[in-house]
Amino acid sequence: DRRLAINVLCSMKELIHTRQEFGKYPVPSQPIPMTDKGENKYAKMPSVIVEVGFHTNPQDALLLRNREFQSLAMRGVAKGYRLFRENKPCGEFAIKPALPAFGRVGHDVHLPVGLTGNPVFPIHVTSRVLNCSGRYCHSRSATLFSQASVEKHRIQYLCTRNDLGKPPVELSVEAKDADGVVAKPAIYKVACGQ
């Protein structure tokens, strides 16, 4: 029961907080054990009672009538159950940091992207050069449809003569999954030389 409850709470928090207007809604990270409720006491399988809010609280009452809030909360419950069924822990959707890379002028540097958590595909990944001016400063985006495509995907940067003798180029890498969950961005660095 506890593992199921932790996954449900974690997933509800992740999804409810995808919307800015619900971003501060409190969702506990640990369940409250309830052994005296018939729904749990006599269950022959893992079970939880999900309380999303209280109608006696005016702020909760407004949210409990909000269709978007209802949808996000219940999608979180469904995701938590799916993770439990697949024996996966709930984890933060984030981009793994990458080691600094070295590139030669006139050549693309290819950096792998690693993701943590349990994002829902497709995932939209964007990279952009920070503090850049010039014609090579555009963002690059890709939509990834499977874990295999995540493993094949590379962040690219073309080293130019303008990069010589300067600090490493910093690229901000961002990702958003199909549920609207946004990963914490990561900074990748590329040092360019001859």
Q: What is the pLDDT of residue 141?
A: 96
Are 77 and 65 in contact by the 8 Å Cβ rule? The answer is no
Cis peptide before 33 (omega within 30 of 0): no
Q: How far apart are CA 40 and CA 5, in angstroms?
A: 12
Q: For the chain, which residues score pLDDT lower than 50?
A: none
Tokens 């985006």 correspond to 141
Q: What is the pLDDT of residue 132?
A: 75
Q: What is the pLDDT of residue 136?
A: 60
Total-model pTM: 0.85
Q: What is the pLDDT of residue 133?
A: 65
52 phi/psi in degrees, rounded to 5: -85, -30
Q: What would the two tokens of residue 137 be?
A: 């400063």
Q: How far apart are CA 96 and CA 62, in angstroms?
A: 38
State whether residue 27 is helix, strand or coil. Answer: coil
Handedness of CA 133, 134, 135, 136 (dihedral sign): negative
Are 179 and 19 in contact by the 8 Å Cβ rule? The answer is no
Q: What is the pLDDT of residue 126?
A: 97
